[in-house]
Chains A and B, each alone.
Chain A
Amino acid sequence: MAAVTTELTKTGDSPRRNGIGLRARSARRTRVIRVLAMLPFGLFFAVPLIALIEFSTRSSDLYGERTLEYWRAIGDNPDLLIALRDSLLLALITSVVALALLVPTMVWVRLRLPKLQRVVEFLCLLPLTIPALVLVVGLGPIYLWIAYFTPAEYDSSPLVLAFAYVVLVMPYMYRALDAGLQAIDVRTLSEAARSLGAGWFTVMVRVILPNVFSAVLNASLLAVALVLGEFTVASLLNYDNLQVAINLQAQASVGVSVALAAAALIFVFILLFALSFVGRRRSTAKGK
């Protein structure tokens, strides 16, 4: 690999000393070398994903017949379906609660309490430094209290995980929302609305929100992707979410687990790819 880099820098350097024809040829050679150097990377990242798909569409082992049996079996497994439903609900609740908590606070701090902006930023980004595993150790006693106050019919419902998930998604949401709020003039917009007689609720919902819509979408997609992949908090607090159920199911039938894991992964990949396009459209719009 090191040999490839030195060669790359050499060929990248040579055009300046040679003629025009040579320059075009060596530029082409550079491109070929670049593609060749990227091949091992592509292989390393593609093989596990291909194996995942391959494994979930073969009966018995990798030499078995091609079949979609495992994918169909997801629908026949009530445990997996309940876990899937709960994880989707969790993703929705987490996004809504986190947005309801962060958007008004961030707008309010910008307008009225600029001194607190650094504090809010620090607190929002703090979960990046405190690993989820550490958080879960400390959340243990708090979740005992939550379980104590949960009505009996909702006992052991994983939806209470939303309390912890809001904290986990905060750093990513904060960054997305901060970028959106920076692009608009919050003060002028809200003062204009206020002077026309709008209340704070109207300002928030009908003036600020539509203006930062793509940032809100961005933040929600990130939260959904994160919640659907979450394993640490749920498994250590003994709640069954999607990932915990997939992991448990692996003991009964690896094929079905792998199929569901692949399905969840494809869904998250699509979400995150959509996200990278939302982000790009906004940045190009800003560039104009």
Chain B
Amino acid sequence: MTSTVGVPAGQSTRTGRRFSLSWLGVVPFFAYVGLFLLLPTGLVVIQAFGTPEGQPTLSNIRALGESYVLTAFWRSIQLSFATAAIGAIFGALLAYLVVSGPADGLLRRTVTAVAGVLAQFGGVTLAFAFMVSVGNQGLVTLLLQDTGISVSGGWLYELSGLIVVYLYFQIPLMVLVFLPALDGVKPQWREATESLGGSTWAYWRHVAAPLLAPPFMGAFLLLFANAFAAYATAAALISQGGIIIPLQIRAAMTSETVLGQENVAKALALGMVIVVAVAMALYSWMQRRSARWLQ
């Protein structure tokens, strides 16, 4: 790449060559990331504004305004908001129960390890696990029917079912994210409040809550993005149709019935990545903010 011809001084030749050789060391990494991460992302953005023949068009983006897409987006937002809110509250509660126990006890180690596993759990197996517990022939359904309560498993395949199933990985994720924040709350702060005559309520209202609010909000945003982007569990649970955006993307990708609509999937993906990126950016901003106090 570099020719040393024409470089007069020996010193600069050496630095010049070392400079270029150093760069060679990272070429494989950047080539790989460019080809399999940046190029596909770029393709999504570019082709969202193009016809399959490569002509620029806004028709894909216009498809985002169709009522069925808007409904799916609205349902996705409902699902993400509900699972993020419920997951954040119960996850924070569970984290608090763990933190208020002994610092290096068996309970804490077990909960952290299990949460680490379950936060990554999803897809076909998770869908199966819920089908065989609260589906039509599920364990819980049958047990309840035995006791005389008539229930059916149909709700599992609707939005309400998705909310319950998503909580299975949202709550553990919240525990993982929120535990360090709770650890950062120092007992001295409580003692200081008490020595100044503050009640438990005053401590929570004026010390703990303001300190924990930014990490809590940050974790909420992370959970929101996590639910919004999740695909595998919903796809395994609901095999037809597109009640939420990820399933709409599947429908747009797999159906070849509508000619000229191939790039609608890219427009939908673009909409999704924008929502997720905004939530994640806010999350990392919140995290930096709370890092000042809670370490």
Contact = CB atoms under 8 A, between A and B. Distances in A.
B37 A104 contact: no
A203 B28 CA distance: 19
Most buried by A among B29, B93, B270: B29
Contacts of B112: 276
A49 interface: yes
Interface stretch (B4-12, B66-74, B126-134): B126-134
Contacts of B123: 229-232, 243
A167 B37 contact: yes
A16 B203 CA distance: 15
B264 to A, nearest CB: 10
B94 A231 contact: no
Contacts of A166: 32, 36
B29 A101 contact: yes
Most buried by B among A44, A51, A55: A51
Which range contains the number of B residues in contact with the other chain?
35 or more
A47 B41 contact: no
A149 interface: no
A93 to B, nearest CB: 14
A92 interface: no
Nearest to B139: A51
B77 interface: no
B100 A272 contact: no
Which range contains the number of A residues in contact with the other chain?
35 or more
Contacts of B167: 44
Contact of B137 (A62, A101, A139, A257): A62
Interface stretch (A4-12, A65-73, A182-190, A209-217): A4-12
B124 interface: yes
A128 interface: yes
A130 interface: yes
Nearest to B247: A133
Interface stretch (A105-113, A151-159, A191-199): A105-113
A246 interface: yes
A280 B116 CA distance: 13
Contact of A141 (B43, B117, B130): B43
A101 B94 CA distance: 39
Interface string B260-295: 000001100110110011001000000000000000
B116 to A, nearest CB: 6
A243 B250 CA distance: 17
Contacts of A141: 43
A164 B272 contact: no
Interface in A222-271: 225-226, 229-232, 235-236, 243, 246-247, 250, 257-258, 261-262, 264-265, 268-269
Most buried by A among B35, B93, B272: B93
A13 B200 contact: yes
B43 to A, nearest CB: 4
Contacts of A61: 137
24 contacts: A10-B200, A38-B97, A45-B118, A47-B139, A48-B168, A50-B139, A52-B132, A52-B133, A54-B139, A105-B29, A108-B22, A129-B225, A129-B280, A137-B265, A142-B43, A225-B120, A226-B120, A230-B123, A231-B236, A232-B232, A235-B235, A236-B254, A261-B124, A272-B117
